[in-house]
Amino acid sequence: MSNLLDRIQFPADLKDLTVKELQELCTEIRSYIIRTVSHNGGHLASNLGSVELTVALHRVFGSPDDQIVWDVGHQAYTHKILTGRKDQFPTIRMQGGLSGFPNRQESKWDAFTAGHSSTSISAAFGIAEARALQGKPGHVIAVIGDGALTGGLAYEGLNNAGRFGKNFIVILNDNKMSISRNVGAMARYLAHMRTKPGYLKVKSHVEAVMNRIPVIGPPLWKTLHGLKAVLRSLLYNSTLFEDMGFYYYGPYDGHDLPQLIEVLENAKTIDHPLLLHVVTEKGKGYSFAEKNPGAFHGVSQFNVQTGEAASNAVGEKYSNVFGKALCTLAEEDSRICAITAAMKTGTGLETFSQRFPKRFFDTGIAEEHAVTFAGGLASQGMLPVFAVYSTFLQRGYDQIIHDVAIQRVKVVFAVDRAGIVGEDGETHQGIFDAAFFNTIPNVTVYSPCYFDELITDLHQALYETPGIVAVRYPRGTEPFRPVGFLHNGNGFSRYGAADAPCAIVTYGRLFAQACSARQKLQQMGIETEIIKLERIKPLPEEALQAAAEKQAVFFFEEGVQQGGIGEHFESALYEKKTYRGICRVHGIHDFVSHATVNQCLHALGLDADGMVRTIATEWKI
Ligand SMILES: Cc1ncc(C[n+]2csc(CCOP(=O)(O)OP(=O)(O)O)c2C)c(N)n1
């Protein structure tokens, strides 16, 4: 059997294949994706669902002159394979390898870097406007999922782009799923739309009939073609998308390659903003993913034959510990509500959603709305806990200020995936939350390192700490815990010899790195004490006092340095006029590319080796 994938390097190579060969190519691409993701981890189900759509897009359009903007970008593996990166594909998500998301730095075929949801329509519209101003021909195509369409930014884009009369196409890739079941009125609306027959077919049919009527037929069709809106409203009731200025065509079977090619060829000829509704199956072509697409949305290494996760991928996670602790508290307190923005499983809220369905709210991929919604709940005396990944909470900064802090209401933010997340790379690292919370008045931030600390901090956040409280914790499992280290609930701990002249100050899971660094430094004859912050805002006064007794203080932070906790600690320390020693802060200065968490920490100089190197070179006793 010939290997068709061997013949493809760039999209232009697709033009030489027959439709049957293209269908075979889709099968080969699927196997390649499954094999690679089983080794590297990554987004499997969404990528399997978008194979035919991507092949059809690259067959019909001429990228990179025509530009394709992928929403979230977690479905762009086929796109990468077809755009000159087939041979590098086995390096995806690995240090120095391909990014798991479209990335403008990686390829001219990646029109817009993505990772966060609902940006594609706005970005594609901006690209289209720029190209129109520059007199460049060609199409701009946004591909957005039904989940991403729950994000407000998508509507802001639609609202604006509908008035644009040029070659602008939005493809709604509707697989009836977000990461898990999609929620809200839009999901219901799309379900309703899916039951309608495809419009483009009807259009071709009407066109064929008109053209057969001699003399008046073709002119009549032309007139009708010019009056598409009228024709469409005769055939259908108008759709939401049409009301926003788009021509709506669909729904189409997103795995029927010949039809997709025909639809896209047709779409190419229509000089008006279009919305093509394509229905796909998440996980298509891999039985385990088809049966359980949510579980195969994002995966670690797995066995292709059994669909089972590799053993190193299991173990208790912070998210689950948080979810269980919240259930225990909610059992006793009927004011507690849990909120997620489409990340029920990822944030550990699955059990809460089953046990307290009335007090569980999935907002869809709508972090801004989730924060303001929490503000509303809190204004009526409820106790909302918004569980959200650090990186996605960046969206809610204004809402935290305007709709929670200024309201003087109590909302708890359970900030998951705080710090380096690893393989998802620069769009997903949780390196900004400590700094942005630090700017907001009346906010308390806890950064536990161990599970027992997380449980205590959550309790304190709800019952002992006034105002807004963020409890932030990393992705994955607990780090190594030194023998004898006990959690004291004071907001900070001291570990090591109190009379050591040098202190390592840190918070969160870097404490474990600091413990190893301390041991290594001891072997080199350098005594250090670790001051471990658990409450990073406001800074515990006693922790500052302890640091002020030292000759040298080294602050290590798994977050941005500019405006971060370290800089704040440093200035508070120097404000103590008695401090005569040095203080050096080491945080993150740039976006952090994909690699394992340990590789990232190593590259940033934030692992034990980096701490040892820094202290040994920056401080001479
Ligand atoms: C702002 C933001 N919040 C949350 C996420 C996490 N996330 C990644 S994909 C996804 C679901 C997207 O659903 P859809 O657009 O339908 O694509 P599908 O996964 O079904 O292919 C979510 C919630 C994100 N990427 N960005």
The answer to whether the beta carbons of residues 384 and 412 sit under 8 Å apart is yes
Q: Report the pocket of ligand 1 as residue ranges, CB < 6 Å.
A: 46, 72, 74-75, 116-117, 145-148, 175, 177-179, 282, 297, 341-343, 365, 367, 392, 395
Same domain? 161 vs 122: yes
Measured distance CA(388)–CA(372) in Å, rounded: 14
Task: Write down the mean pLDDT value for the chain.
Answer: 92
Contact indicator for 252, 279 with CB cutoff of 8 Å: yes
Closest ligand 1 atom, residue 145 Cα = 15
Which ligand 1 atom sits closest to the C-alpha of 116?
Answer: 26
Look up the CATH number of the domain holding residue 547. 3.40.50.920
Based on the fold, state whether residues 272 and 344 are members of the same structural domain. no
CA of 179 to the centre of ligand 1 (A): 6
Among 439, 472, 505, the domain boundary falls at: 472
CA of 117 from ligand 1 middle (Å) equals 6
Question: Based on the domain organization, do 292 and 339 belong to the same domain?
Answer: no
Contact 463, 336 (CB under 8 A): no
Look at residues 580, 574, 575, 585 and name the one whose alpha carbon lies nearest to residue 507.
Answer: 585
Task: Out of 242, 367, 453, 478, pick the active-site residue.
Answer: 367
Helix/strand/coil for 613? helix
Report which protein residue has its CA nearest ligand 1's atom 23.
342
Q: What is the CATH number of the domain that holds 82?
A: 3.40.50.970
Give the model's pLDDT for residue 198.
63
- Alpha-carbon span 344 to 442, nearest angstrom: 28
Q: What residue ranges of the chain have pLDDT lower than 50?
A: 1, 202, 205-206, 208-210, 213-214, 216-227, 229-230, 233-234
Residues 106 and 244 both lie in one domain: yes
Query: How many angstroms does the Cα of residue 391 sit away from the middle of ligand 1?
Result: 13
In contact, 144 and 118? CB cutoff 8 Å: yes
Strand segments, DSSP code E, in 447-567 are: 468-472, 492-496, 502-507, 528-533, 535-537, 552-560
Q: Let me know if 472 is a catalytic residue.
A: no
For the chain, the straight-line distance linking the first and the last C-alpha, in angstroms and rounded, comes to 70
Q: Give me ligand 1 centre to Cα 528, in Å.
A: 44
Question: What pLDDT is attached to residue 207?
Answer: 53
- Which residues form the domain of 14? 4-196+236-299
**pLDDT, position 577:** 82
Helix (H), strand (E), coil (C) string for 179-210: CCECCCHHHHHHHHHHCCCCHHHHHHHHHHHH
Concerning whether 282 is annotated as a catalytic residue, the answer is yes
- Which atom of ligand 1 is the closest one to the Cα of 342? 23
Residues 467 and 503 in one domain: no
Distance 265 CA to ligand 1 centre (A): 28
Cis peptide preceding 538, ω within 30 of 0: yes
Map residue 317 onto helix, strand or coil.
coil
Is residue 174 helix, strand or coil? strand
- How many folded domains does the chain comprise? 3
Output the pLDDT for position 201: 52
Give yes or no: residues 329 and 397 share one domain.
yes
In a domain, 205, yes or no: no
Q: Do 277 and 349 lie in a common domain?
A: no
- 509 and 432 in a single domain? The answer is no
Specify if 306 maps to a domain: no
Residue 574 lies in a domain: yes
Instruction: Choose, from 282, 417, 532, 550, the residue flagged as catalytic.
Output: 282
Model confidence pLDDT, tens digit, residues 351-387: 999 999 999 999 999 999 999 999 999 999 999 999 9
Task: Look at residue 427 and tell me if it is in a domain.
Answer: yes
Which DSSP symbol is given to 578?
Answer: T
Which residues are registered as beta bridge partners of 552? Answer: 502, 582
Query: 466 and 517: one domain?
Result: no
Catalytic residue chosen out of the listed positions 395, 472, 509, 532 = 395
Do 290 and 156 have their domain in common? yes
370 and 456 inside one domain? yes
Ligand 1 centre distance from Cα of residue 72 (Å): 6
Q: Which atom of ligand 1 is nearest to the CA of 117?
A: 26
The token duo for 553 is 């203080």
- Residue 91 φ then ψ, to 5°: -95, 5
Counting ligand 1 atoms within 8 A of each CB, the residue from 176, 297, 365 with the most, and so the one to mutate, is 365
Q: What pLDDT is recorded for position 197? A: 65
Of the residues 252, 270, 299, the one at which a domain ends: 299
550 is catalytic: no
**Residue 216 is assigned to a structural domain of this protein:** no
Both tokens assigned to 403: 């709709």
In a domain, 283, yes or no: yes
Report which of 144, 158, 139 is spatially closest to residue 265, judged by C-alpha positions. Answer: 139
Are 528 and 557 contacting, i.e. CB atoms less than 8 angstroms apart?
no
**C-alpha 348 – ligand 1 centre gap (Å):** 17
CA distance 569 to 547: 10
Whole-number pLDDT of residue 200: 54
Atom of ligand 1 nearest to the CA of 144: 15
Closest C-alpha residue for ligand 1 atom 16: 147
Q: Do residue 286 and residue 421 come from a single domain?
A: no
Helices (H) and strands (E) in the chain, counts: 25, 19
Task: Tell me, yes or no, whether 90 lies in a domain.
Answer: yes
Instruction: Give domain status of residue 176, yes or no.
Output: yes
